[in-house]
Amino acid sequence: MENKVAIVGVNLDSALDIEKSRERLIFDLVRGLMDDLGIEPTDVDTTIFATNDFLVGRTISNVFEDSPAGVYMRDESKVEMDATNAVMYGTMRILSGNYQTALIVSQGLCGHQVSPYLHISYSLNPIYDRQLGLLNELSAAAFQARDFLTKYGFGDDLMHAIAANSLANAALNPRQARQLPDISPQQVSESPYYYEPLRELHCYPPTDGGCAILLASAERAKELTDKPVWILGLGSSMDTYYIVERDLTVAPSATKAAKRAYEMAGISDPAREICFAEIAALFAHQEPILAEALGLMEASDAAEKYQSGETAIDGKLPINPSGGALGGHPIPATGGFRVAEATLQLRGEAGKNQVKDPKRAVVLGQDGICAQQNSVLVLGI
């Protein structure tokens, strides 16, 4: 898919405890984006929201979001999924030829208002797992972590190294909520256990935040920016539901999603052709699992990759130079953050997190227990 749909602008904001209402957050994000681009709400042809009813606390959670987004009574739709899916939806709308621009808006205030673990608890089988009360997002992630470590004979120190890589990057990034300057693997290893082997700093923090992204057709993109970031490929896939029937050490749905996205983008050797990856790994161990699914590394090489610095901002294949989801997870905006951070990188505007001269990036957003659903985008300049 060559140069048909571009990301022309992004705006994002997050904090562990953001001091504004969700409506004000949306207004600030969209108004800021429009001011950057010098456009007005009437320049937006369609809007796709990504919000979660459980986390907002009402059905049709986007119902009052069109006004602060400036698109009241305008063409609008919503995904109840990670924001990468809203980006895909907007892309497809532009590809249909009916729209020249698509605004993506996503927010989640899970810092203090509501537990970020709630929506996964509600995705559990109501007549079995929810009744037993033993399974939740964290205990499931712990099983996944243990399976992953055991499969390759890795120790917990790999988890500390992966988390420290992300958290150090997050500390350089003013757009990230969790700021832990001078973080070391040692400090990660001293954070309290949730479910062994999973410790607090292996996990995403409860986060408030949101993002606004404007997509445009090639023609319109030329008028709006001199730094378009092209959506070159996309794909999404969903794994089977029950974690007790899944091999949690692999992510076949991410593999399938990536295959589609790479084919569309004409990429045959991602480990060579991709310059960096923004992966919504909600827990440290998920990063190598998902990176393997994206064709960027063999998970069995993870220890070597992370300890040699290959995944760092100045490494051979930087993973989550922004700090990733361990720096913040404002559900379901997290995938939108990955898209926005990758866009800033490709425009050379990522500040202290800047990777050297990137041309192609892969972005992964996920949803569901143990990354059950995965969406992949290939971006390029």
Partner 1 sequence: MEELRETYITPVVPLDFTYNYRVGQYMERFLNSLKDKKLMGVKCPECGKVFVPPRMFCGSCNQKLDEWVEVAQTGMLANFTVGHVVLEKGARLAKAESPYVLGLIKLDDVDSLLLARVEKVAPADLKKGMRMKAVWKEELAGDYSDLDHFEPA
Q: List contacts with partner 1 (CB under 8 A).
A: 17, 19, 57, 112-115, 117-118, 120-121, 126-129, 131-132, 134-136, 138-139, 142-143, 146-147, 150, 192-198, 240-242, 244-245
Q: In the bound complex, what is the minimum distance in angstroms from residue 362's beta carbon to partner 1?
A: 29
Compute the C-alpha angle 110/113/117, nearest 5°: 45
Among candidate residues 335, 357, 351, 379, the one with its CA nearest the CA of residue 79: 335
Among candidate residues 93, 14, 1, 5, the one with its CA nearest the CA of residue 336: 14
Among candidate residues 185, 224, 218, the one with its CA nearest the CA of residue 202: 185
Backbone dihedral region for residue 94 (phi beyond 0: left; psi -120 to 50: alpha; all else: beta): alpha
Of residues 198 and 282, the one with the C-beta less far from partner 1:
198
Of residues 145 and 361, the one with the C-beta less far from partner 1:
145
Report the 10 Å Cβ neighbour count for 268: 10
Of residues 135 and 293, the one with the C-beta less far from partner 1:
135
Of residues 121 and 179, the one with the C-beta less far from partner 1:
121
Of residues 139 and 179, the one with the C-beta less far from partner 1:
139
Q: In the bound complex, what is the minimum distance in angstroms from residue 188's beta carbon to partner 1?
A: 16
332 preceded by a cis bond (ω within 30 of 0): yes
Structure tokens at 219: 């023609």
Of residues 51 and 249, the one with the C-beta less far from partner 1:
249
Report the 10 Å Cβ neighbour count for 245: 8
Among candidate residues 241, 243, 217, the one with its CA nearest the CA of residue 231: 217
SS3 state of residue 361 = strand
